Structure 1
Amino acid sequence: MSQGPRSRLIGAAIELVREKGVEGTGLAELLERGCTARRSLYQHFPGGKHELIEASTLAAGRFIESGIRGAEGATVAGSVADFLDASIANATATDFRLGCPVGAAALAPADAAIVIGAAGTTFASWSAALAEHLVREGHAPDAAASLAGFVVSSYEGALLRARAARSTEPLEQAKQHLLPLLTAPDRR
């Protein structure tokens, strides 16, 4: 089934923001990559580029969150290891050109408050989903919430560092140090 203009624009925004960030993503390029006319942009996103990038940030976030929530049979440590391995593979396959669209949204300029807000909402939803898994694995709720937030922060920081250094080492370090934390419940 072919995608409509709204879906194509969201997909184009995710791709371009991963590569160029919010400020580097222009309307003409969004329309071209999304194979969409300008009128479709304003029909689906009356607020323009920032509204589109807000929607694309939330969509990318829901996709990742569905993976977190869908990993019911897996351990959190196993899921995080798989996610980091996929990020390492993606970084090398794309020659470190692509970052996280949610991380890029968090770095949007101050006049893009709805985009920054969407990133904050997404990071919180990822943390909540991870915390739920950690609680099911025996972690105390407060410790699980804190650890989940730390995992999200560690991943995002490692991805930024990997892209800047053009090296997978930061992602490998995150994996090395996060996995032991995720396997040992803290019952405080």
Structure 2
Amino acid sequence: MTESVRERLIGSTVELMQRHGVAGTSISELLTHSGVSRRSVYLHFPGGKNELIAASVSESGDAMASMIEELVASMPPGDALSAFIGFWKKLLEGSSFIAGCPIAAAAYGGQDAPEARAQADAVFSHWRRLIAPRLAAHGMDAAAAAAMATTVVAAVEGAVMLCLAARDTAPLDHVHTQLTTLLAAQTG
């Protein structure tokens, strides 16, 4: 099945945000990367770059949420964490430590795209709401599960940033070890 113009624009925007952040994702580079016309951008996203970036954050966040939902529904917390960290390690190594999280890029680039920052907040909140009930189902009380869900998202996202800086997955390994210990101590 062929990608629609809208899907190509969003996919290209996500890739460019992963590599260059929000400010570094220009319309001209997006046109070159996606192979679509300038007119197509404004036909699909009348609000221009800010609307396109917000839509890209939403769609990439939803894709990640689907993965998280599948992991936490089918595995115990420690195994789901291992799979999630494995995903990030594969993405980082596969991109030669160039591509990071487009949601984090939107949060950092909020001064250039305030709608995208708000969308990043919504995405991160959604991820935490997917994780917390599964932790509660494994023995944590609701407040502790919510706090642990925030800790997991924050620690993994922070580790991804450290991995990019170091060009090494060791920070994810360290976070994995520490979070596994915390989860084992607090879940059944």
TM-score, structure 1 normalization: 0.94
Q: What SS does the corresponding residue of 1:184 show, helix, strand or coil?
A: helix
Provide the alpha-carbon RMSD of the alignment: 1.4
Partner of 2:107: 106
DSSP 3-state at the match of 2:74:
coil
Moved over 6 A (4+): none
Aligned counterparts of 1:79 and 1:150: Cα–Cα separation in 2: 15
Q: CA deviation at 1:133?
A: 1.2
Which residue in the other structure is 2:159 paired with? 158
* AA aligned opposite 1:49: K
Q: Does 1:24 align with 2:58?
A: no
Aligned amino acid, residue 91 of structure 1: L
1:93 positional shift:
2.4
**1:9-158 aligned within 5 A:** 9-71=9-71, 72-158=73-159
Deviation larger for 74-83 or 114-123: 74-83
Cα shift at 1:35: 2.0
- 2:110 and 2:153 mapped to 1: Cα distance? 22
The whole-number CA distance in structure 2 between the counterparts of 1:109 and 1:25 is 13
Q: Does 1:171 align with 2:168?
A: no
Structure 2: gaps (5+ residues)? none
1:119-176 Cα deviation digits (max 9, x unpaired): 1111100111010211121211111001000110001110111101111111111101
Rounded Cα–Cα distance in structure 2 between residues aligned with 1:126 and 1:109: 19
Q: For residues 10-64 of structure 1, give each alpha carbon's deviation from its aligned partner in whole angstroms, at most 9, with x where no partner exists.
A: 1001100000100001101112222211111111111111110111111111111
TM-score of the superposition, structure 2-length normalised? 0.94
Specify every segment of 5 or more residues in structure 1 that has no aligned partner in the other structure, as ranges.
none
Pair 1:8-2:8 in alignment: yes
- Report the Cα offset of residue 186 of structure 1: 6.2
Letter in 2 for 1:106: A
Q: Distance in 2 between matches of 1:54 and 1:169?
A: 31
Q: Say whether the 8 Å CA contact 2:68–2:84 is kept in structure 1.
A: no
Give per-residue Cα distances to partners, 1:67-101, cap 9 Å, x unaligned.
11122221122111111122123222221101100
CA contact (8 A) 1:23 1:109 kept: no
Q: Which amino acid aligns with 2:138?
A: E
User: What percentage of aligned pairs have identical amino acids?
Assistant: 36
Greater share of helix: 2
Distance (Å, rounded) in 1 between the aligned partners of 2:169 and 2:146:
27
Deviating more after overlay: 163-172 vs 71-80: 71-80
Letter of the aligned partner of 1:132 in structure 2?
A: P
* C-alpha distance 133-186 of structure 1, shift in aligned 2 (>3 A): closer
